[in-house]
């Protein structure tokens, strides 16, 4: 997408309300990646970013997510990654976004690789939690294994040089070339664990009802509109994957007491399986594949994901 493809209403909003350097980020900044339901993520580089809250706005029928970022090159770790997908809408002499992109480009690949390895380690941690919960809490064990699967796939995407975009992750995974057997087996095990290819409309509707019971941030309306869009357009596998991905983000940081007390809500929301034998098989496969990835040298791993 070019700046000329951005709706006039959003351009007018930016011109009227944002007297700072501005850029389009996220999937709308990637050619062919976005869907009609995707919001326009607008990054406003403001000296007072720390005092301003991100927000979701409706601008003449278009959804705009306004994200405030510091107007300094010494920005956060995740920002260096996001800068890989960016279209400058307004530069300024004392803060040139185009210059920032050039400065972060060399770091991006290394940082993505480091984050990918970290995600694979996180996947192993979730698998360990699944094993610990298995004897007494089969529902929580199944939940932790799904966490493990989602984290594994995020790790594979970052190791391949792609920043995971939740709504598009399943499509991103389909596009990754995997020449290493462990990678292919791990991805297949993760997808089987998540169950997206078995998605049905009733299962998604049940998960959606459970999801609405969980606490969201300011972007609740965006999440729900995306789920409804995918359902309406018959994109059931993508919708199932995305719903589970959102639930994972909302539940992963919860205290153990909450997880134990709301296990039935978690079971419905994440559409958890109770097949212990299958869970053990998939968990073992993910564990072995994660270990193989972590033991591989960076050169061979990058070659396997080209």
Domain count, the chain: 2
Does residue 136 sit in the same domain as residue 83?
A: no
Does residue 58 sit in the same domain as residue 111?
A: no
Does residue 211 sit in the same domain as residue 243?
A: yes
Does residue 43 sit in the same domain as residue 121?
A: no
Domain edge (last residue) among 95, 121, 145:
95
Structure tokens at 206: 């049940």
Query: Would the pLDDT of 106 be above 90?
Result: no
Structure tokens at 12: 């007018």
pLDDT confidence tier of residue 183, bands split at 50, 70 and 90: confident
Look at residue 178 and tell me if it is in a domain: yes
Domain that holds residue 8: 3-95
Query: Would the pLDDT of 73 be above 60?
Result: no
pLDDT (0 to 100) of residue 181: 77
Look at residue 221 and tell me if it is in a domain: yes
Does residue 253 sit in the same domain as residue 126?
A: yes
Averaged pLDDT for residues 41-58: 84
**What tens digit of pLDDT does each residue of 267-282 get?**
999 999 777 788 889 9
Structure tokens at 56: 């979701």
Structure tokens at 48: 């007072």
Domain edge (last residue) among 65, 95, 125:
95
Does residue 133 sit in the same domain as residue 86?
A: no
Domain edge (last residue) among 60, 95, 130:
95
Look at residue 239 and tell me if it is in a domain: yes
As a dihedral over the C-alpha atoms of residue 166, residue 104, residue 252, residue 267, rounded to 10 degrees, the angle is 10
Does residue 287 sit in the same domain as residue 207?
A: yes
Does residue 77 sit in the same domain as residue 123?
A: no
Look at residue 43 and tell me if it is in a domain: yes
Does residue 202 sit in the same domain as residue 59?
A: no
Does residue 36 sit in the same domain as residue 71?
A: yes
Look at residue 102 and tell me if it is in a domain: no
Look at residue 51 and tell me if it is in a domain: yes
**Of residues 210 and 74, which shows the higher confidence score?**
210
Does residue 79 sit in the same domain as residue 142?
A: no
For the beta sheet containing 40-45, the strands, ordered from the edge strand earlier in sequence to the opposite edge, are 55-59, 62-69, 40-45, 22-25, 86-90
Look at residue 297 and tell me if it is in a domain: yes
Look at residue 101 and tell me if it is in a domain: no
Does residue 268 sit in the same domain as residue 161?
A: yes
Element (H, E) at 153: helix 138-159
Q: 242-273: buried (b, 16+ CB within 10 Å) or exposed (e) per residue?
A: bbbbbbbbbbeeeeeeebeebbebbbbbbbbb
């Amino acid at each position: 997408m070019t700046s000329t493809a951005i709706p006039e209403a959003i351009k007018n909003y930016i011109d009227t309300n944002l007297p700072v350097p501005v850029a389009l980020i996220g999937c709308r900044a990637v050619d062919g990646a976005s869907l009609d339901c995707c919001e326009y993520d607008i990054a406003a580089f403001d000296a007072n970013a720390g005092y301003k809250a991100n927000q979701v706005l409706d601008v003449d029928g278009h959804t705009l997510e306004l994200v405030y970022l510091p107007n300094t090159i010494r920005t956060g770790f995740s920002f260096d990654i996001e800068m890989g997908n960016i279209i400058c809408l307004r530069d300024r002499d004392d803060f040139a976004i185009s210059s920032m992109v050039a400065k972060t480009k060399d770091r991006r690949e290394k940082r993505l690789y480091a984050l990918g390895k970290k995600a694979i380690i996180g996947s192993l941690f979730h698998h360990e939690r699944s094993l610990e919960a298995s004897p007494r809490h089969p529902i929580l064990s199944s939940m932790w294994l799904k966490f493990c699967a989602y984290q594994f796939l995020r790790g594979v995407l970052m190791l391949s040089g792609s920043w995971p975009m939740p709504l598009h992750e399943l499509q991103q995974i389909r596009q990754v070339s995997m020449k290493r057997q462990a990678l292919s087996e791990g991805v297949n095990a993760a997808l089987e664990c998540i169950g997206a290819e078995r998605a049905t409309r009733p299962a998604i509707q049940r998960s959606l009802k459970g999801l609405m019971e969980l606490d969201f941030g300011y972007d609740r309306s965006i999440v729900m509109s995306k789920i409804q869009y995918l359902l309406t357009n018959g994109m059931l596998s993508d919708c199932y994957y995305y719903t589970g991905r959102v639930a994972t983000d909302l539940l992963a940081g919860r205290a153990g007491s909450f997880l134990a007390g709301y296990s039935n809500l978690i079971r419905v929301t994440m559409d958890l399986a109770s097949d212990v034998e299958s869970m053990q098989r998939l968990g073992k496969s993910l564990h072995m594949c994660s270990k193989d990835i972590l033991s591989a040298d960076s050169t061979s791993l990058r070659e396997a994901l080209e």
